[in-house]
Amino acid sequence: MFEITWLDRLDIERIHAELSGRPENEAAPALALLLRRMAGLLQGDEEIELTDLAAALGEAILRDRPFASGNRAVSLVACETFLVLNGLDLLPLSDEELAATWLALEAGDLTAFELAGILRGERPELVEDAIAAHAHRLPAGMGGDDGER
């Protein structure tokens, strides 16, 4: 097994503060639980890749919504940061593709398993589907929280 560099609760809170311009202390319990679940992914017998962990982190932030706003952007930046900290390249997608992919993930149109395939560059058809389904929400999809709860 390889050595993994994890993001901790403070790392994710700093990402949120950097993106939103303000700290949000109420998210600490939700983030701590989310990160404990992430560490539990390594307890199984199956082979798991860094892209699987990054995708699970991104999906968990979107699903659990630990912050009052900004969860979509935090999810994306945390996913990218996790990949870079662990020696992988940034996501091989354009801004439009990233925005559509994260909108699809947020809407439940993509699973963490499918996102992991996208992160490995194996599923370009899923990115095309995401753009087609969420084009009406672009380009503001990643720039702000319009429509985000």
Which band of pLDDT confidence, cut at 50, 70 and 90, is reported for residue 1?
Answer: low
Q: Which is more confident, 6 or 29? A: 6
Contact status, residue 53 vs residue 4, Cβ threshold 8 Å: yes
Q: Which is more confident, 143 or 110? A: 110
Mean pLDDT rounded to a whole number for the chain: 84
Is pLDDT at 141 greater than 70 in this prediction?
A: no
Whole-number Cα distances in Å, 139 to 63, 94, 113: 22, 12, 25
Calculate mean pLDDT across residues 99-125.
Answer: 91
The structural domains of the chain, with segments of one domain joined by +, span 9-134
Calculate mean pLDDT across residues 90-110.
Answer: 88
Which band of pLDDT confidence, cut at 50, 70 and 90, is reported for residue 2?
Answer: low
Report pLDDT for 53: 92
DSSP single-letter state for residue 135: G
Check whether domain 9-134 has CATH 1.20.120.1870, yes or no = yes
Which band of pLDDT confidence, cut at 50, 70 and 90, is reported for residue 149?
Answer: very low
Model pLDDT for residues 19-73, shown as the tens digit of each residue: 987 777 777 788 888 888 877 777 765 788 899 999 999 999 999 999 999 999 9
Report pLDDT for 79: 94
Place of tokens 């900290």: 85
Is pLDDT at 82 greater than 90 in this prediction?
A: yes
Q: Where are the beta strands (DSSP E) in the chain?
A: none
Report pLDDT for 142: 44
Alpha helices in the chain (DSSP H): 9-20, 28-40, 50-64, 71-85, 95-107, 112-119, 124-134, 140-143
With pLDDT > 70 as the criterion, what percentage of the chain qualifies? 87
